[in-house]
């Protein structure tokens, strides 16, 4: 296991922390919906094309093709997201707003 954590850091600013958590939950929810949609699309594709071409082996072959497609898709998404994550981590961050410099007045 690597030394990095997937848990976002707590900023101490509760408004920011709540927004970060809500955003993470929303992304997770939409990811689940997308995964379920892909699941149905792959199943329908197999039912429409594979079972018609090879009816005698349709059940076993359908499961095998389904597993291969889902595995290939999972590998592709994982590799793509890992590359994007590394690019973001390795990009030097630029502050959104430059800090205002103040001078101390002595009397």
Going from N- to C-terminal start, the domains of the chain cover 14-90
Average pLDDT, the chain: 77
Over pLDDT 70: what percentage of the chain?
Answer: 75
Contacts of 24 (CB under 8 A, 6+ apart): 8
Q: Which residue has the higher pLDDT, 8 or 23?
A: 23
Q: What is the pLDDT of residue 96?
A: 55
Q: What is the pLDDT of residue 1?
A: 46
Check: pTM over 0.85? Answer yes or no: no
Could you tell me which of 71, 54, 35, 75 has the C-alpha nearest to residue 62?
54
Residue carrying structure tokens 């149905």? 40
Which tokens is 46 given? 């197999």
Condensed to tens digits (0 to 9), the pLDDT of residues 44-90 reads 888 888 778 877 777 777 788 888 888 888 888 888 888 887 887 77
pLDDT of residue 23 exceeding 80: yes
């Amino acid at each position: 296991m690597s030394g990095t954590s997937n848990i976002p850091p707590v900023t101490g600013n509760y408004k920011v922390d709540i927004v970060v958590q809500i955003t993470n939950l929303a992304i997770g929810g939409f990811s689940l919906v997308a995964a379920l949609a892909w699941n149905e699309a792959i199943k329908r594709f197999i039912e429409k094309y594979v079972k018609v071409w090879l009816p005698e082996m349709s059940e076993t072959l359908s499961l095998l093709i389904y597993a291969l497609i889902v595995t290939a898709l999972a590998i592709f998404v994982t590799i793509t997201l890992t590359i994007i994550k590394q690019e973001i981590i390795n990009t030097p961050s630029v502050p959104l707003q430059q800090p205002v410099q103040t001078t101390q007045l002595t009397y």
